[in-house]
């Protein structure tokens, strides 16, 4: 009987993380490439703005550095924990 309780706690944590990620995420197209490069310890001070724009378009098209998808990850984990808690609580 402890497993459903643990799953409910995990669902609450993942639900909060999804809520928080939804409020903190911004589209990758709105973030300057210099901030994305800083996260990868890449120095772009010597790179022209045109080259930075090309790198930004490459990252946007490949999804690299776009953390807005983490909302879906935490949401799916939350729903999965809720389903498993419901399944095991009614099964017992």
Tell me: the pLDDT tens digits for 70-82? 889 999 999 999 9
Whole-model pTM: value is 0.67
CA 1: distance to chain centroid?
Answer: 31
- Note down the domain range covering 76: 2-91
pLDDT digits (tens, 9 = 90+) for 34-78: 777 787 788 888 888 888 888 888 777 766 556 677 889 999 999
Q: For the chain, what is the domain count?
A: 1
Q: Which alpha helices (DSSP H) does 1-92 contain, by range?
A: 2-24, 33-39, 49-62, 70-91
């Amino acid at each position: 009987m402890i497993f459903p309780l643990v799953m409910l706690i995990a669902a609450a944590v993942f639900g909060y993380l999804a809520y928080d990620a939804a409020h903190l995420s911004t589209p990758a197209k709105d973030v300057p490439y210099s901030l994305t490069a800083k996260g990868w310890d890449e120095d772009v001070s010597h790179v022209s703005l045109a080259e930075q724009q090309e790198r930004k378009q490459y990252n946007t098209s490949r999804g690299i550095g776009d953390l807005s998808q983490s909302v879906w990850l935490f949401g799916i984990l939350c729903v999965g924990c809720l389903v498993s808690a419901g399944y095991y609580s009614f099964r017992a």
